[in-house]
Amino acid sequence: MRGLGRYYQIHVLCRGQADPVTGYFLSIKHIDQAVHKHALPYLQQLITTTPSLATIAVGTLMGRLMKLLSPPLDHTVARVRLDLTPFYNISIRSRDMAHVVIRHQYEFAAAHRLHTPRLSDEENRRVFGKCNNPSGHGHNYRVEVAVRAPIGPNGQVTPVEDLDRVVDEAVIEKLDHKHLNLDVPQFDRLNPSVEHIAMVIHSMLTPALGAIGVTLEEVSVWETEKTVCTYRADTVKTGTAT
């Protein structure tokens, strides 16, 4: 390859019961063959006839991939996901062919201090260790926002640019290069742990995303490359994070 090229990934999730004798549910080769025979030729045709997959009606594209893969995989396909970049992907679920799920990642840098007035100073130091440093400390946070978007009559879905604008206005501008304890009102009474950060971002985004016709499914926040917390829409009523 010379110059710049495009590199996409397809993720196929199948659901079923494992055979009690072999332990297999589906052979990996069977899945590979189905993708190579049915999905890749369709994508290759699109790639050769369009300047970018971003210009294609995403709903039509994802629905077509699901319909191509479902029969050869015995209708066990639960979800098909297409990664357009390492930070942006679109998926469709067999139980909800009227919507796609769009996931996009963002970054912001912020400082915080893990400290709660419900504990004594000694207990705070014991529980939070170095993270209880009185001057605080910083992280480069990574945030993934997942939204459920309806597929329009012509296969179109909410452009990712609209999602970018909402996330930037509702979250990034308010958190980036801030001290969360001191500069962000939501943390006046909340200890800014990664769990609470994910929960607060979810609450910041929910009304704003509803205004552009999409539903927030979950927010994931990476505090480090090894530590991530996901706050899902179905946990809001109980106030828990996973």
Exposed, middle or buried: residue 40 (CB in 10 Å: 0-12, 13-18, 19+)?
A: middle
Q: How many CB atoms lie within 10 A of CB 11?
A: 12
Beta partners for residue 178, in sequence order: 110
Q: Active site residue: 131, 137, 179, 196, which one?
A: 131
Q: Active site residue: 177, 195, 196, 217, which one?
A: 177
Q: What is the dihedral of CA 194, 200, 203, 209, to 10 degrees?
A: -70
Q: Active site residue: 144, 195, 223, 229, which one?
A: 223
Let me know if 131 is a catalytic residue: yes
Q: DSSP letters of 38-100?
A: IIHHHHHHHHHHSS-GGGS-HHHHHHHHHHHHTGGGTT-EEEEEEEEETTEEEEEETTEEEEE
Catalytically active residues, by annotation:
131, 177, 223
